[in-house]
Amino acid sequence: MLVQVSHLIKLGLMVLVVTATGAVNIYSWSDLYDLYDFIQFASYRTSIVPSKYLMTMMIIIMMISFYFFARHLERQSRKLFLWKIGVHDQKERVFEMRRWNEALVTNMLPEHVAKHFLGTKMRDEELYSQSYDEIGVMFASIPNFSDFYTEEGINNGGIECLRILNEIISDFDSLLDRDEFRCITKIKTIGSTYMAASGLTPESNTNGYGSRKPEDQSLIERWQHLSGLADFALAMKVTLDNLNKQSFNNFMLRIGLNKGAVLAGVIGARKPHYDIWGNTVNVASRMESTGVMGNIQVVEDCYDILKEYGFRFIRRGPIFVKGKGELLTFFMKGKDKSRGKAGPGTTALPHQVEDLS
């Protein structure tokens, strides 16, 4: 307790104690000190300072010494206290800085990739990459946004157009916060084109189903994430329709879906970017670019899987795809409420007469 008391209070207490002790020595115990001096120094002929005064002086010197010692101790205690406060503040700032850095990295990279970089000591020359065998890829663009964009004065040099585009993309991003879309990872946006993928999980080639191998899983289990990606595409259309009603616009989505193997990785030493590559990505991009506004186009492989989840399709027929030749494609029109029923929900376009089996 005395360490925390101010030096002035200590000084007051010591002065009080020394005064009381000096009064006792000089007045109350005066006879005892005189008797001691007579017995001890009776043989000395020279005069000596009485012991009662010597004792009082010694107590005063001790008081002064203790005061300076207490003052020094107090200064050191204050320095230690301020040092501890400074260290605590620095730790809080470091923790806050790390939290912001983690949030920034998590916004730039998928969560499992961000944990990889934050949890290990990576060297600049080290490359992060991961192969996946069963991934869903989606490209969604707004082709008529380029017709809407203008830099005339009425749009404040194009700022109002960018504000609307930002609102659209932000609404698409907010869909990813839903539990049913947690398996979907946003890859990037290029202009008014939105790219996303499903099944990009830390487990290699299992697409989020733990340690079970793909051959040990049913079709419904293996491609559940692809069904989620298709649901996400339909939700994007609903979101854009709602925004059109609010802003009195007529934007339309053109979406392409594909599934298959990809290679994922992070490139760049500055502003690192997470991306995916492979034939699957190229075909998904072609499904978008060769599609029709307001429709979701898929290849036959995706159709064979998604029809098992209750999605409804219209057969478009073979189309020419650059680098791939002719591919049989379908338009996904919606989803039955009772998903998973037997039998594909497919309707042919009027000019398609081929056998759908």
As annotated, the active-site residues are: 286, 322
Q: Which of 310, 98, 131, 348 is nearest to 220 (CA)?
A: 310
The Cβ of residue 232 has, within 10 Å, a number of other Cβ atoms equal to 23
* 165 within 8 A of 254, measured Cβ to Cβ: no
Secondary structure of the chain: what % helix, strand, coil (to 5)? 50, 20, 30
Q: Which of 233, 235, 219, 261 is nearest to 138 (CA)?
A: 233
Instruction: Give 202-209's long-range contacts (Cβ < 8 A, gap of 24+).
Output: 202/112, 204/130, 204/131, 204/132, 205/131, 205/132, 205/133, 205/134, 207/132, 207/133, 207/134, 207/135, 208/183
**Amino acid at site 301:** D
Are 217 and 211 spatial neighbours (Cβ–Cβ below 8 Å)? no
CA Rg, the chain, in Å? 41
d(CA 211, CA 213): 6
CA-wise closest residue to 295 among 141, 192, 66 = 141
Q: Token digits for 116?
A: 């990889």
Q: Helix 30-40 crosses helix 51-108 at what angle (to 10 degrees)?
A: 110
Helix or strand (DSSP H, E) at 163: helix 159-175
**Which is nearest to 283 in space by CA: 138, 162, 134, 104?**
138
Distance of CA 262 to the CA centre of its chain: 25
DSSP annotation of 215 reads: G
Please check whether residue 51 is in contact with residue 38, taking contact to mean a CB–CB distance below 8 angstroms: no
